[in-house]
Amino acid sequence: MATVTFDKATRIYPGAKKPAVDQLDIAIEDGEFLVLVGPSGCGKSTSLRMLAGLEDVNGGSIRIGDRDVTHLPPKDRDIAMVFQNYALYPHMTVADNMGFALKIAGVPKAEIRQKVEDAARILDLTEYLGRKPKALSGGQRQRVAMGRAIVREPQVFLMDEPLSNLDAKLRVQTRTQIAGLQRRLGITTVYVTHDQVEAMTMGDRVAVLKDGLLQQVDSPRNMYDRPANLFVAGFIGSPAMNLVEVPIIDGGVKFGNSVVPVSREALTAAADKGDRTVTVGVRPEHFDVVEQGGASTGSLSKDAPAGLAVTVNVVEELGADGYVYGTAEVGDGRQDLVVRVNGRRVPEKGSVLHVVPRPGELHVFSTSSGERLSD
C-alpha cells in the first residue's frame, strides 16, 4: 500500500484563463479513504484524473509512496480506477471482465482464476461469474467493476462517482459495502462525489473543493462542527446550515429580537476587518423554539418574544423529527430558514415560530471575506 501526495498540483486546460485545479496540496495517509467533494466544475474529477495519469500536470507534483508519478503513464502508476459508467466489456463474462487486466499482464490462468474467485467471494458475485453484464443489475455491474480493481491488488483505488447511476436505495446500500470493503482491504482510496452526504458517511477525511481551490480537508465530524468558511458551512450538512447576516452590538450579535452572545475574539476579528455585520451560521438542529406567551431572556423588547420570527411555509415530517422550512424578516429582506422540530409536535403551515440559536452552537463568519471567526 502507499501514501498519496498532491504537492501544489495544478492543471490548466489549453485556452483556459483559470486553472481547473489550482495548487492542490493534500497528503493522504497509507490505507486512508479520502473523499473529494464539491459542486460540478470544482476540479474534483480533474484532480483524480491527474492522479491516474489521464490529465497532464502543469505545475507541482504528485507522489504515490516515495515515487514521483507526475509524468508517468497510467500503466506504471500501480493504480486501479472504478468509473461512473462501469466500463465493462459487454461480450465477456463477469469472470473474464474481472480477470482481463491480469490476462493482459501475462498472469498464469490458474492464478487469475484464484484471484477472481477470491474477489467474487468478497463481493458476493460467485453465482454470477458466468453471466454477461447485460444480465446483471446496476448494483451488480458496479460490484464487477470493483472486483476488476480488487484482483489487481493496486497500491491505490481511484473511484470517480461510482454510485451516481444507481437508484437512491441501492446507492445507500452500496456505499456502505464500498466503505466496509475498503477498510477490510486497507487499500488507500481516493473517491470523488458531488453528494456531500455520501462524502460524510464514507470518508476517513473529506476534501472540499470550489473553483479548483481546496477549501478544507478534515474529518467529517470536524468539518461539520468547524467549517473553515462560508462555502464549506453552506455545502456540508443536510439540510444545509442557515447563514444569516446580522449586526454586531455590545457583547454579541442582534438576532431578531434577541442579543446572542458571541466570543470576544470573533467580534475583535470582525472589527479588525472593519465589518459592522457578521454572518452567523446555525444548523437546523441548533435552534430553540421560544414559546409565544411573552418575552424571554435575551429579548430586546419586553412585549415581544425573543429571537427571530419565522413564518412556516412547509413542514417535512420524518417521524421522530420534523423540519420546518420558513421565511423570516432579516435586515431589509426576507430569508429562508430551516428549523428542526419535534416530529410529534409539528407547527401548522402559516403559523409563526420564534427561534433563537442554542448557546455555544453558533458559527461566526466574516461577511466580507467568508472566513471563520469563531473558535
CATH number for position 144: 3.40.50.300
What's the burial of 49, exposed, middle or buried (CB within 10 Å: 0-12/13-18/19+)?
Answer: buried
The pLDDT value recorded for residue 295 is 40
Q: In terms of residues, how long is the chain?
A: 375
- Provide the residue range defining the domain that includes 355: 241-366
The CB density around residue 329, as the number of other CB atoms within 10 Å, is 13
Counted domains in the chain: 2
The pLDDT value recorded for residue 297 is 42
Residues 214 and 285 in one domain: no
Q: Which residue has the cell 462560508?
A: 230
Within 13 Å, how many C-alpha atoms sit on residue 45's CB side?
Answer: 11
In whole angstroms, give the CA distance from residue 143 to residue 135: 14
Residues 84 and 129 in one domain: yes
Sheet of 363-366: strand order equals: 258-261, 252-255, 242-249, 277-282, 363-366
Residues 200 and 336 in one domain: no
The pLDDT value recorded for residue 302 is 52
Residues 265 and 201 in one domain: no
Residues 205 and 272 in one domain: no
- Residue 185's H or E segment, with its range, is helix 168-185
SS3 per residue for 191-244: EEECCHHHHHHHCCEEEEEECCEEEEEECHHHHHHCCCEHHHHHHCCCCCCEEE
Residues 37 and 149 in one domain: yes
- Return the amino acid letter for 60: G
Buried-exposed string 232-265: b where 16+ CB fall within 10 A, e elsewhere:
bbbbbbeeebbbbbbebeeebbebbbbbbebeee
Residues 339 and 191 in one domain: no
Examine residue 211 and state whether it is found in any structural domain, yes or no. yes
In whole angstroms, give the CA distance from residue 271 to residue 106: 67
CATH code (residue 347)? 2.40.50.140
Residues 119 and 203 in one domain: yes
Residues 45 and 182 in one domain: yes
Residues 175 and 262 in one domain: no
- 326, 339 Cβ separation under 8 angstroms: yes
- Residue 323's H or E segment, with its range, is strand 321-330
Buried-exposed string 268-300: b where 16+ CB fall within 10 A, e elsewhere:
ebbeeeebebbbbbbbbebbebbeeeebbebbe
Examine residue 208 and state whether it is found in any structural domain, yes or no. yes
- 192, 45 Cβ separation under 8 angstroms: yes
Examine residue 374 and state whether it is found in any structural domain, yes or no. no
Examine the fold and report which residue of 234, 252, 267 is the final residue of a domain before the chain moves on.
Answer: 234
Examine residue 189 and state whether it is found in any structural domain, yes or no. yes
Q: Angle CA(168)–CA(193)–CA(41) in degrees, nearest 5?
A: 125
User: What residue ranges of the chain have pLDDT lower than 50?
Assistant: 293-297
In whole angstroms, give the CA distance from residue 360 to residue 242: 16
Sheet of 67-68: strand order equals: 21-28, 4-11, 59-64, 67-68
Backbone phi, then psi, for 374, in 5-degree steps? -80, 160
The pLDDT value recorded for residue 294 is 40
Examine the fold and report which residue of 180, 202, 234 is the final residue of a domain before the chain moves on.
Answer: 234
Examine residue 371 and state whether it is found in any structural domain, yes or no. no
Examine residue 375 and state whether it is found in any structural domain, yes or no. no
Residues 37 and 160 in one domain: yes
Model pTM?
A: 0.88
Examine residue 111 and state whether it is found in any structural domain, yes or no. yes
The pLDDT value recorded for residue 12 is 96
Examine the fold and report which residue of 180, 205, 234 is the final residue of a domain before the chain moves on.
Answer: 234
In whole angstroms, give the CA distance from residue 188 to residue 3: 7
Calculated CA dihedral for residues 261, 229, 328, 282, nearest 10 degrees: -50
Residues 172 and 218 in one domain: yes
Examine residue 372 and state whether it is found in any structural domain, yes or no. no
- Residue 279's H or E segment, with its range, is strand 277-282
